[in-house]
């Protein structure tokens, strides 16, 4: 069965990987995680690539990986900062993009102490997370065709809401 590409976007800790896995099982389709693709391509964690090459080079690599990932059917989970790239947002224009929205407090709780996310390392993790989220929120919303809160619902409920959205979208087509 060919399933339209569904792209998951949202800030770090919003559940993109968790929801992506559950959604791919529910739809019996593949999950492509762009962070995992970067790690496989570079032979290092995303955090290491980001730290060693810097954000501009990391984003350039990420743009290439996103373009490749979007050539496949199924579920695509993007890294939290992928949407800051205009090239990436342009690529998303023809896809179902689900924005997993989360509160700053819950995002901080879920990512606290995770050293694999150098972009979040700061003396005041909440202030850093809030600043990143506020800088990216408009990009998430602009790219999204559907938005669902992922901090006030179980993963099962989030998946059910996305499946309901997809049913409505397919009915309209």
In angstroms, the Cα distances linking 63 to 29, 56, 57, 78, 146 are: 23, 11, 10, 10, 22
Place of tokens 């998946």: 159
Domain 6-166 classification at class level = alpha beta
> Which one, of 85, 37, 43, 36, lies nearest residue 52 by Cα?
43
Q: How confident is the model at residue 1 (pLDDT cuts 50, 70, 90)?
A: very low
Where along the chain do its domains lie?
A: 6-166
Q: How confident is the model at residue 4 (pLDDT cuts 50, 70, 90)?
A: low
Mean pLDDT of 2-31: 90
Structure tokens at 168: 């409505």
Question: How do residues 46-68 score in pLDDT, each as one tens digit?
Answer: 888 988 999 899 999 999 999 99
Over 60: is that where the pLDDT of 25 sits? Answer: yes
Decide the pairing of beta strands 31-33 and 146-149: unpaired
The pTM score is 0.91
CB 26 within 8 A of CB 155: no
Residue count of the chain: 173
């Amino acid at each position: 069965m060919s399933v339209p590409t569904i792209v998951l976007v949202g800030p770090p800790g919003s559940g993109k990987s968790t929801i992506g896995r559950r959604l791919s099982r529910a739809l019996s389709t593949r999950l492509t995680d762009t962070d995992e693709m970067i790690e496989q391509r570079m032979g290092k964690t995303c955090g290491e690539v980001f730290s060693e090459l810097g954000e501009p080079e990391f984003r350039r690599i990420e743009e290439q990986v996103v373009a490749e990932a979007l050539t496949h059917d199924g579920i695509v989970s993007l890294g939290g900062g992928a949407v800051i790239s205009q090239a990436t947002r342009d690529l998303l224009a023809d896809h179902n993009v689900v924005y997993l929205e989360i509160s700053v407090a819950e995002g901080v709780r879920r990512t606290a102490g995770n050293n694999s996310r150098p972009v979040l390392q700061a003396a005041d993790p909440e202030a850093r997370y809030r600043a990143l989220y506020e800088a990216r929120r408009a990009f998430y919303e602009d790219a999204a065709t559907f938005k669902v809160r992922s901090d006030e619902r179980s993963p099962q409920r989030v998946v059910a809401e996305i499946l309901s959205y997809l049913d409505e979208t397919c009915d309209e087509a």
